[in-house]
Structure 1
Amino acid sequence: MTVSPPRNGEPPAEEPQSSEAAGRTLCPRCGTPHELNQEYCLECGLRLPVEAKGLVPRLGRAWRRQLGWYPGDWVWPSLLALLIAALAGIGAAAFVSHDQKRAGYVTGTSPFGAPPATIPPPERTTTMPTVPTTQTGTQPVPPKQTPSPTPALKAWPAGKSGWTVVLASLPTANGRAFALAQARAAEHSGLQAVGIIDSSQYASLHPGYYVLFSGVYTSFDDANTAATTAQSRGYRRAYPRPITP
């Protein structure tokens, strides 16, 4: 830039810049034009500011021109991420809305209609048995059922000698009721002809016991076979024994 000397006390007039200088950047200190990528001013030696290039610097300069301040380059990635998230939300909402409309269309056009929310269970009807009534209107009294009598235990034939299977020898001190209970248990196990002998009344037995026996046999072999059966029914100590009055 050149300045003309003053004329008649008038302030010096600035001469217009040449077309070559008008298209270049000026030095901030001396105003000398310099090239775009020039590092130092050739007149005053000032280190010239380097103007960054690219999209982000241009956006930053535009931000400063509009608002007068600039938060930093980090604002652009943040705005881009926010924009992507907003677009994704809009797309998801549109997809859900389309899916709901399609489901409503399928339900409305189905020949079977919308399925019921719950299927009620079938009703159960119970038929109460009818009780015949008499002419007077009162119900008949059912007949009383008498329990069948408990079969008696096997008694040893009076005055007879023979063989039997001794299932257990129970001390008389335990009482006859205990011996009877053991005899009934032997019957429930499936043994036949179960009875009780008072050992004090027979010469071949030791006195002081209730002898729990099963069967009356004429030979040792028959009694021994029956003893094997008794052992298989749970009486492992069963053995054949002669009985003599």
Structure 2
Amino acid sequence: MTDGEGVLERVLRVLGCFSEDEPAITATTLAQHTGLASSTLHRLLATLVAEGLLSRGPGHTYVIGSRLWELGELSPLSLRLRETALPHMVRLYEATGENVHLAVLDGATPEASSALYVGRLTGRQSIPTLSRMGGRNPLHVTGVGKALLADRDEPWLERYFRAPLVRETVHSLTTEAALRADLARARTLGYATTREEMTLGNVSVAAALGRVDGLPPIALGLVVHLERADERRLAPMVVQAAKDLRHDLRKA
């Protein structure tokens, strides 16, 4: 434990252990991850459970509690963005039958930024994707991520390109020159695309909303199977849905 560390820092260290890969964690594992003394950790866990921030799960595990979910739903990303976006996402899904994704740009610095998914609609016929509500994906290999990148200014992009572009598939763009060329194309077209860059067989089409006061940068997109990826048909629908959503958000 770091000298002088406060209770809040300890709480954040504990909560930071939970992830999509580890949604349920034992006290023993939490002790290993946090380095907190057993007595300190157990007192902290008891308080977090009593306050509803954590709950007891099966097999002597802890899981995220309903109170933490309740507080998260008070975020503007839920109350304002997702609630306003839902009718537009439904119309886009009904028109295409494909996965609809709503994402925002999130990160303390450009180098550490990613696409945070705040809305998702899918159906039985939609192709499986790696995205989930509250999940993150890299910017350079996702449609919504590229749309967000294409909307950034040059100083921001210069910092972003300081970090390596990790390859997710054989089709991922992993050089600055290649990605910059793709972003230039996206600015010209008014929407961004990926072709099997995050998941083989998947194609995405996405558009950024532009600036909306009080919210981070936003993008709306579709993910479809390669065989159904009719860009000429899908892109206008995505662009129009993004424009309509931006209009409603600016009124909200």
| TM norm structure 1 | 0.20
- By percentage of residues, which structure has more helix? 2
- By percentage of residues, which structure has more strand? 2
Q: Which has the larger radius of gyration?
A: 1
Return the structure number with greater relative CO, CA threshold 8 A, min gap 6. 2
| TM norm structure 2 | 0.20
